[in-house]
Amino acid sequence: MKKILVLLFCFLVLLLTACGGPEKKAEKPAEPAKKEEPAKPAEPSKNAEGKQVLNLFSWADNFDPEVLADFEKKFNCKINYDVFANNEELLAKIQAGGARYDVIQPSDYMITTMLKLNLLEELDMSKIPNTKNLIKDLQAPAYDPTGTHSVVYSWGITGIAYNKKYVKTPPTSWRDLWNPAYKGRVVLLNDVREVISFAMKMHGHSLNSVDKNHLAECMKDLKALAPNILAYDTDTIKQKFIAEEAWIGTMWSGDAYFSFKENKNIGFVVPKEGTGIWADCFAIPKGAKNKALAQEFINYLYDPKVSAKNYEYIGYNDPNLAAAPYHSEEFKNDPILKTAKDYIGNSEWTADVGDAIELYDRCWTELKTGK
């Protein structure tokens, strides 16, 4: 029996050897690498009526509603206007999905930050020729030295607004905000850089200081200011002053102009320690779906007649030199706007503080939470 099994085994081995063993599948030749197709430009947003949509992300009350309506009519489009309270909120939204917006309005130092993060489209200046009329000093500022990724929309200074009915002696120093007579009546801008900046100036430091000792010094004072604070507010600060809920606080010059028009008791001063100059800019985020319409919008806002109408409504200094003949005498001679002009060359720009922003943010959280 064993011999039979051995013979059968040998026979099978010979048979398999003759057939070349189990059949192997032929390997396919490697396919040539496919060339990457260039990315197709994003399709412009349209609403249910088939109109193009311009998604705008800006500060509150930053445009004359009639100017926006006129643009919609002229270009047969719809504007969606979303609002942010500060630059850090803007940055977070853009990092989370900036392509949903076509036009954004970062401030000076935030332009620098966004450029480092490659978050902004390069502007085609041939499509926005009206910007050639901007004040020369604002055409290629330090935060965007090539002047190809942003355009200054509004600019001004930060000072102290106060109600003359309740603040009998005009403030002269940032330190005046700590007066115990103003308990629960002080409003500060809801912006980390603005709040820490005036404290830095009060102590004689650069508003861009990243020195930990300087920050600690400022934080000690700002925490001591807490009993006086009614609110941190950028969205409705004008309304608080007009309604006389707030008696004194930090305010941008344009908002002070607007508040003064509604309540003649409002005064505005630049403290003796100095202040900061700022600019809010037009920019287009990377991947914006409607870049062409965005550039039309920017150019339209700088049409001289449109510009004059718009800035008289929002109350900020008009950077458009060609608009001057169309402004009212009241606007040209307004004392608050003149104050801003006086300080344009004597104020400090807010700069990107790099990694120190994390320290600033921790300070801000402490101030807002009281911890």
Would residue 132 count as lying in a domain?
yes
Instruction: Determine the pLDDT at residue 62.
Output: 94
Under a CB-based contact definition with an 8 Å cutoff, are residues 219 and 363 in contact?
Answer: yes
Report how many domains make up the chain. Answer: 2
Taking alpha carbons only, the member of 71, 94, 73, 67 closest to residue 82 is: 94
Would residue 170 count as lying in a domain?
yes
Would residue 36 count as lying in a domain?
no
Q: Do 246 and 105 sit in the same domain of this protein?
A: no
Q: Do 272 and 171 sit in the same domain of this protein?
A: yes
Instruction: Report mean pLDDT in 10-residue bins for the chain, 371 residues.
Output: 40 41 42 46 65 95 97 97 94 90 96 96 97 88 90 95 97 98 98 95 96 96 97 96 98 94 95 93 96 98 98 93 96 89 82 92 92 73
Q: Do 291 and 146 sit in the same domain of this protein?
A: yes
Q: Do 96 and 206 sit in the same domain of this protein?
A: no
Q: Do 246 and 354 sit in the same domain of this protein?
A: yes
In terms of residue numbers, what domain contains 68?
Answer: 53-155+279-344
Under a CB-based contact definition with an 8 Å cutoff, are residues 282 and 144 in contact?
Answer: no
192 marked as part of a ligand binding site: yes
Would residue 39 count as lying in a domain?
no
Both tokens of residue 222? Answer: 């700002």
Would residue 167 count as lying in a domain?
yes
Q: Do 78 and 117 sit in the same domain of this protein?
A: yes
61 marked as part of a ligand binding site: no
Q: Do 321 and 232 sit in the same domain of this protein?
A: no
Q: How far apart (Å, rounded) are the C-alpha atoms in residues 83 and 86?
A: 9
Q: Do 264 and 312 sit in the same domain of this protein?
A: no
Instruction: Determine the pLDDT at residue 47.
Output: 62
H or E element at residue 160: strand 151-163
Instruction: Determine the pLDDT at residue 344.
Output: 73
Under a CB-based contact definition with an 8 Å cutoff, are residues 162 and 171 in contact?
Answer: yes
Q: Do 166 and 262 sit in the same domain of this protein?
A: yes
Q: Do 73 and 133 sit in the same domain of this protein?
A: yes
Q: Do 76 and 217 sit in the same domain of this protein?
A: no
194 marked as part of a ligand binding site: yes
Would residue 300 count as lying in a domain?
yes
CA distances (Å), origin 131, targets 139, 144, 241, 242:
8, 15, 34, 34
Domain containing 177 — which CATH number? 3.40.190.10
137 marked as part of a ligand binding site: no
Would residue 15 count as lying in a domain?
no
Residue 101, strand partner residues? none
Q: Do 184 and 124 sit in the same domain of this protein?
A: no
